[in-house]
């Protein structure tokens, strides 16, 4: 009897892989379509490179999932409007269900004058660059002596960690729209960069914004203690770069020179409004320029419009009245008409809620989405698509398609390369190199 595939999963990051595992355990065949050559998504290309134990643990889990006979991998395939494959294509092929779990691949910008100047980057560009994800791995990124990061989350901390270990960097300025009580990075992430902090600057800066904090019953002393608490388990640091904090500031414009290179960031001072539990920043009208060679925006992510799903700000639009909710949450896409769920199309992970937590959250979301799909498939009674038909369709693509046996050859090669280095330095910088190793080009 021919093997049947019931679910097409777009994206082989944590959400897609754990969803595939759950679906396979429920007896369904799964086809994983991945933009990248290698699986793993943000777990492979978003976690800081020297977190070897975390990455190795996740790779083992992902390899176990991919070893399942009911899970079929198709890498190096871009899904979206005008690309190799689209969501309507997958439905037309005969897949009863499609799960979108390809993360939030768009980049969020503030729309400021000067964002196109040389020396201006999104944090995603930098993170993918140092994690060696093609094509970002070969993207020319020029980091100067004085760098500004806009943002106050864990991604900011990772980028700052990378910067302070670059030989040419002398100062890293972190600009935060609100105050110390509203930062989003964890103490664990702070421990990796606190050794580079100019603590005198930190104390002066918290003292400067203390009146605005106290007006909302926030305790500046408590927030300063949070920073100092990270010193106990601080990562050893002996570099020259210093991190300086700037609270209650909003960027207005990136200034540049006659050569199109940025040279500064125009900022506006803010105050805090609202209450202790719900604060926002309000501009005071006072402006000043912070000189810098490089600016990096670490302000979150948004989904990719080119995928062809209806949008709601930075996310794909969920069905407001899902037919198959799980834990009271909607995992279904709103029909493009906006009147009902799009039959058979589901969401998970950062594709469902952009920038929502780490791997644990993605796993839970993927499993929940699989449960929603299970409800739908049992109610729909659809048989699925024969695996041979899927393979024939994929074989007709012009681009080389990576399957599980190909991945095995690549991983074996990288393992040999890692014997004289680390798993991170063993990564190839281009898709072409990986395809050649696998014999696909």
Q: Structural domain boundaries of the chain?
A: 4-105+302-437, 109-299
Nearest Cα to Cα of residue 162 among 251, 51, 266, 250: 51
Cα(139)–Cα(258) distance, integer angstroms: 23
> What are 121-179's pLDDT values in tens digits?
999 999 999 999 999 999 999 999 999 999 999 999 999 999 999 999 999 999 999 99
Query: Residue 2 above 80 pLDDT?
Result: no
Output the pLDDT for position 1. 60
Tell me the percentage of the chain whose pLDDT exceeds 90. Answer: 79
Span 350-366, average pLDDT: 86
Place of tokens 């992510």: 301
CB 143 within 8 A of CB 172: no
Output the pLDDT for position 313. 81
Tokens found for residue 101: 């779990």
Output the pLDDT for position 215. 94
DSSP string, 149-172: EE--SHHHHHHHHHHHTSTT--EE
Query: Residue 221 above 70 pLDDT?
Result: yes
Span 28-36, average pLDDT: 97
CB 258 within 8 A of CB 245: no
Burial of 301 (0-12, 13-18, 19+ CB in 10 A): buried
Output the pLDDT for position 20. 98
- Partners of 99 in the beta sheet? 9, 346
Output the pLDDT for position 336. 75
Place of tokens 């690309």: 83
Q: For the chain, give percent helix, strand, coil, nearest 5.
A: 35, 25, 40
Chain mean pLDDT for the chain: 93
Burial of 176 (0-12, 13-18, 19+ CB in 10 A): buried
Output the pLDDT for position 380. 84
Distance in Å from the first CA to the final CA of the chain: 34
Confidence tier at 381 by pLDDT (50, 70, 90): confident
Confidence tier at 419 by pLDDT (50, 70, 90): confident
- Partners of 295 in the beta sheet? 120, 148
Output the pLDDT for position 31. 98
Strands 7-10 and 30-34, sheet pairing:
parallel
> What are 59-91's pLDDT values in tens digits?
999 999 999 999 999 999 999 998 889 999 999
Output the pLDDT for position 40. 94
| 3-state DSSP assignment of residue 235 | coil
What is 4-105+302-437's CATH superfamily? NAD(P)-binding Rossmann-like Domain (3.40.50.720)
DSSP string, 397-421: SSS--B-HHHHHHHHHHHHHHHTTS
What is 109-299's CATH superfamily? FAD/NAD(P)-binding domain (3.50.50.60)
Span 273-283, average pLDDT: 90
Number of alpha carbons in the 13 Å side-chain half-sphere of residue 189: 18
The rounded Cα 72 to chain-centroid distance in angstroms is 24
Output the pLDDT for position 340. 73
How are strands ordered across the β-sheet holding 262-274? 249-256, 262-274, 279-291
The 10 Å Cβ neighbour count of residue 393 is 17
> What are 382-417's pLDDT values in tens digits?
789 999 999 999 999 999 999 999 999 999 999 999
Place of tokens 């920073």: 227
């Amino acid at each position: 009897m021919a093997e049947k595939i019931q679910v097409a999963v777009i994206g082989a990051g944590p959400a897609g892989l754990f969803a595939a595992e759950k679906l396979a355990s429920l007896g369904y065949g799964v086809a994983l379509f991945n933009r990248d050559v290698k699986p793993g998504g943000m777990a492979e290309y978003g976690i800081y490179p020297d977190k070897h134990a975390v990455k190795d643990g996740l790779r083992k889990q992902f390899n176990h999932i991919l070893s399942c006979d009911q899970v079929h991998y198709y890498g190096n395939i871009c899904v979206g409007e005008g690309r190799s494959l689209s969501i309507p294509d997958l439905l037309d092929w005969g897949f009863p269900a499609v799960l979108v779990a390809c993360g939030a691949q768009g980049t969020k910008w503030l729309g400021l004058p000067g964002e196109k100047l040389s020396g201006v980057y999104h944090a995603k560009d930098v993170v993918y660059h140092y994690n060696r994800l093609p094509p970002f791995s070969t993207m020319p990124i020029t980091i100067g002596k004085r760098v500004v990061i806009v943002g106050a989350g864990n991604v900011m901390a990772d980028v700052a960690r990378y910067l302070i270990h670059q030989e040419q960097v002398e100062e890293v300025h972190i600009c935060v729209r609100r105050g110390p009580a509203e930062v989003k990075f964890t103490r664990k992430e702070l421990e990796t960069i606190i050794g580079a902090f100019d603590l005198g600057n930190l104390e002066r800066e918290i003292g400067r914004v203390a009146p605005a904090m106290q007006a909302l019953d926030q305790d500046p002393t408590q927030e300063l203690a949070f920073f100092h608490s990270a010193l106990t388990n601080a990562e050893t640091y002996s570099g020259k770069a210093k991190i300086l904090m700037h609270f209650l500031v909003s960027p207005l414009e990136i200034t540049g020179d006659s050569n199109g290179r940025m040279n500064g960031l125009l900022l506006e001072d803010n105050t805090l409004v609202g209450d202790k539990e719900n604060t926002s920043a309000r501009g005071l009208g006072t402006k000043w320029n912070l000189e810098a060679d490089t600016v990096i925006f670490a302000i979150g992510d948004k989904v990719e419009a080119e995928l062809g799903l209806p949008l709601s700000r930075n996310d794909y639009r969920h069905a407001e009245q899902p037919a198959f909710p799980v834990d009271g949450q909607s995992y279904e896409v709103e029909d493009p008409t906006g009147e009902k769920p799009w039959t058979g199309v589901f969401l998970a992970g950062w594709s469902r809620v952009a920038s929502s937590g780490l791997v644990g959250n993605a796993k839970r979301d993927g499993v929940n989405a699989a449960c929603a799909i299970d409800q739908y498939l049992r109610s729909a009674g659809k048989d699925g698509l024969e695996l041979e038909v899927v393979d024939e369709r994929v074989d007709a693509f012009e681009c080389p398609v990576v399957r599980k046996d190909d991945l095995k050859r690549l991983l074996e090669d990288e393992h040999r390369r890692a014997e004289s280095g680390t798993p991170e330095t063993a990564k190839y910088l281009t898709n072409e190199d990986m395809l050649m190793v696998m014999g696909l080009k």
